[in-house]
Each structure stands twice: as C-alpha cells, then as structure tokens.
Amino acid sequence: MKSRILQFTCFIILTFNHMAFAQDQFKVLLFTVQDTWHYECIPNAVDAFHKMAAEHQFKFDWTQSSEDLALKLPSYDVVVFLNANTDNLTNEQLKVLQTHIQNGNGFVGVHSTSDSEIRNPWFDNLIGGVFRDHPQFQAAVLSNHDANFPSNLHLPEKWLWSDEWYNFDLLKSDAIKVLLSVDEDTYDYQKGYDEIPLKGMGKNHPIAWYQFYDGGRSFYTALGHKPEAFEDQMFLDHLFGGIYWAAQGESKLPGGKPARH
C-alpha cells in the first residue's frame, strides 16, 4: 500500500514538473504583409518562427490581417512587425497597437518596418528612426556595441553580413541604445539604383537598436532583406534575442548574473 502511495506521489510530482516545464514563457504575434519587395521572405520567416518557438518554448501565432492583429493583440506579450508598417493599419488599429505598448508590452520591427509612406509620429518614434534610402545589396562589416544584450550575446565584435544597408532620417539618437552599426568604409554606400550617389550616414550608422518607449519596449533591426537570412542561425539568434528582451525586458549575462535593460 505504501509502495503504491509512493508511486502515485512520484507520478503527481513528475506530471506537475512536466506541466510546469511545458508552459510557454511568453506569447508572440507575428504580423506580415505581402509587399512588392519582401513577399518572398514570408514563407522562410514563418517557418523559422515555428522552429524558434519550438526550440525556445514560446507561443507563436502569425497573421497577415490587420483586422486580426487588432483583435488578437491584447492577448500577446510582444508583436513582431516583419516588413509591415503604418501603411497597413487604420487609425483605429494603430490605436490598439499604441495601447498595447502603453500597457507595458513589447514591439519588434524587422527591416522595412521603418519604411512607411503614411507618416505617423508615434509609430516613427516607436521604431526609433525612419527609412530614407539604401544602396544596392552588398556585404559590409557590422560592429557589436553591446555583447551583453540578448540579441548580441552570440555575435563577435565584428560581423561580416550581406544586406540592404538602410539609411535613416529622424533618428532618435538621444533615446535609442545602438546594438549594431555598419562601417561605411567596408561597402559602397553611394551605389544606388540610379546615377545619383547616395549620402550614407557617416561614422555613426546604426542598424539595430532598442529603447523604452511610451511605457513599453521596442527592438528594431534593419537586417533581414533576403529569404536566406531566415535560414541563417546567427541572424535568427539575433532576432530571437530582440524578441526575448521585448517580451520580458531582461537578459542573463554570462555567469548567470541577471541584467535589467
């Protein structure tokens, strides 16, 4: 009898531990749109997010509907805009996003999320900068400015990467914390798609950053133009680190020391 009670007790403990282990650590809603330039990324990105969610034990859902986004958003800890921006939202839907941030939740913007034709000051500030232009796709060297931030923990001090190197206007240099910058000496920043040379941004050319904004957290990375980026583990770890911080607002430094950002 005692043996059966002991076995049952062990079963309950193991079941409880399994249930606790299986709980999702946070909830992520991915929002994508079928734009002219980046639609080929979507299948790769969605597949990568499914694998990422399974590996890191977070709940993941995906929508391409702005109506669905506005309806579901209050149930999530962080929303990821993948090449989506204010061009895809009504004023009412943008208000839902604003409330989501003001309630202390997270936002992640990827690549052309900074490129809106319909200007909205609140959304521009949420991103931290506004896309201006970019040279032709090419390789360049990135600098890692915060090796303790979750999106950069795995990255070397210098990282060679190929992408569209966005130039920005209205950069909130006093508010954003730069994570990655690109060295304009390592690529042809003037090489656009016509005969007019581009200006670049000079020695301080941020590519990824984070900030606290309007009660919530915002992470932005300009990387991720081609579908192949979403098959690259270095990039995916960079992206997950940003999602993790936007969802929870903290990281663990090497040695297990917690750090609040």
Domains and CATH numbers, the chain: 25-260 (3.40.50.880)
**In the prediction, which pLDDT does 87 show?**
85
Residue 71 corresponds to which tokens in the numbers above? 């309806």
> Average pLDDT for consecutive 10-residue bins of the chain (261 residues)?
44 40 87 76 95 97 96 98 88 97 98 88 95 96 98 98 96 94 98 91 97 97 96 98 93 43 45
Helix (H) or strand (E) holding 22: helix 2-22
Encode pLDDT of 114-125 as tens digits: 998 788 999 999
The 10 Å Cβ neighbour count of residue 260 is: 6
Quick one: DSSP state of residue 190? T
- Give the orientation angle of helix 233-248 with respect to helix 41-56, to 10 degrees: 60
Which pLDDT value is given to residue 135? 96
pLDDT at position 71 is: 98
The pLDDT value recorded for residue 36 is 60
